[in-house]
Amino acid sequence: MAEARVAKGKIRHGQRESIRALIPAARIEKRIRAMAKEIRRDFPEERLHLVSVLKGGVFFLTDLARSIPGEVSFDFIAVASYGQNTHSSGQVRLTRDLDSSIEGQTVIVVEDILDTGMTLQYLLRLFQQRKPKHLRVAVLLDKPERRIAAVRADYVGFTIPNEFVVGYGLDYSERYRNLPYVGILKLGSGAKPQK
């Protein structure tokens, strides 16, 4: 296994992969605090129920939940669409459902990234059938160039270019989730992973 080396904002894994920092940890932390204020401003007295999409949304959920004052609960859901590679299969299926009902609750769907919108479209349809009082979406990253489904987020951390990103919960074959920043992954001699 190649040892990761950090040099001038890049991590290199042997000769095959490199990561260039796109959004530093400090900017992520600051933006999440601002998003938490926006959410609480919109729902000043309500108990908020955050639903994280596993696995990528976990880092964002925990930091967002800790930044929102007042009563906050959370749950997790998992869907599959990417598999082991970097391009979406175009199909979304539920692999882990919520632990409790969301009926009558103010629900914030917490996603790491919004790109094609297929996953979010699927989740919004599913959740709307369960009759929440309010249903909103918070995404850390929005990649509008990749949008296929007509969906949008109510709260957006950062709008990013059409690059394959990892870190802060986002992965490439289950690797790099633990990076404290978001970075652009390059393969080989600067090649990009396929979408």
Active site residues per annotation: 115
Burial (0-12, 13-18, 19+ Cβ within 10 Å), 44: exposed
Contact 53, 110 (CB under 8 A): yes
Angle between helices 58-67 and 25-42 (to 10 degrees): 60
Cα separations in angstroms, 159 against 46, 95, 147: 28, 28, 12
DSSP 79: E
Both tokens of 185, joined, read 């992954």
Angle formed at CA 72 by CA 71 and CA 73, multiple of 5 degrees: 130
